[in-house]
Amino acid sequence: MYKLASLQTQSKTVVSVGSVRFGDGGFAMIAGPCAVESQDQIGATAAAVARAGAAMLRGGTYKPRTSPYAFQGLGDTGVMLIAAAGEQTGLPCVTEVLREHQLALTSKYVDMLQIGARNMQNFGLLEAAAKTGKPILLKRSASATLDELLYAAEYILLKGNENVVLCERGIRGFDPETRNVFDLGGALRLKELTHLPVIADPSHATGRSSLVEPLVLAAAAAGLDGAIVEVHPNPAQARCDAAQALDLEAFGRLMNRLAPLKASLQIPA
């Protein structure tokens, strides 16, 4: 059985990323494009989501793409662009890492490292990322049980890095109407099993931008610790995941609906 990840081992962990805190009873919003595409794109997105109240900036630059013919991301250049956008807006930023050799640059310039669903059981990467000491956003694989996710977290914790935030991003389902099945019940059950913070990724979970706002509200109402959503200045032009990205205006509306809900549930702003 996993030990360090278990709620029986210790009380709730609060993970700090810059001034942002996950697991302190608040609901932190991470927003940004699927992929960093250009300085303008990431800069405009960062400015807009910061204005709307996002706590952190996301953006992929090493992209794990099902097809080798799909846009693979800007690589190292993207790291510098998201770091600059974070700097300018004051938002801590998170990007996904796929290979160990990417850790040197990313851990120097970004504030949190994401291990994506496809790499949840890439144990070498987990351990190497752990050793950077940076906070880690660990996504649940589409076919992982909660146990398997917590064992993956255990690989990180065992290396002495306790700054792990877990993320439910959809499990494999049988209905093509949504890209995956957003397992909110599983995410809540996870919080009964572990002291680590748990956030939601409704963008990847559903693949439909129209479902992002209601699912973020649901995640907040249910007591998760935050959400990560895809936002793009012009979703129709996005180089990946166009169907699930919110535009800047829609993100603003979402934040405006979220605020009174948080207040009603006494979730700190």
Chain residues binding its own copies by CB under 8 A are 1-2, 64-68, 98-100, 118-119, 121-124, 141-143, 145-148, 151, 154-155, 158, 170-178, 181-186, 188-189, 192-193, 202, 205-206, 208, 210-211, 214-215, 217-223, 257, 260-261, 263-265
Question: Which residue, 84 or 103, has its beta carbon nearer to its own copies?
Answer: 103
Question: Which residue, 48 or 117, has its beta carbon nearer to its own copies?
Answer: 117
Question: Which residue, 18 or 186, has its beta carbon nearer to its own copies?
Answer: 186
**For residue 151, what is the DSSP state?**
H
Least separation in angstroms between CB 145 and its own copies: 4
Least separation in angstroms between CB 142 and its own copies: 5
* Neighbour count for residue 234 (Cβ, 10 Å): 12
Question: Which residue, 84 or 184, has its beta carbon nearer to its own copies?
Answer: 184
Least separation in angstroms between CB 46 and its own copies: 27
Q: Tally the residues of the chain.
A: 269
Least separation in angstroms between CB 110 and its own copies: 19
Q: Measure the CA–CA gap between 88 and 65, rounded to whole angstroms.
A: 29
Least separation in angstroms between CB 107 and its own copies: 17
Residue 150's Cβ-side half-sphere holds a number of Cα atoms within 13 Å equal to 21
Question: Which residue, 51 or 172, has its beta carbon nearer to its own copies?
Answer: 172
Per DSSP, the three-state class of 219 is: helix
Helix (H), strand (E) at residue 21: strand 20-22
In order of 9, 45, 194, 197, the CA distances from 5 in angstroms are 7, 34, 6, 11
* Neighbour count for residue 146 (Cβ, 10 Å): 18
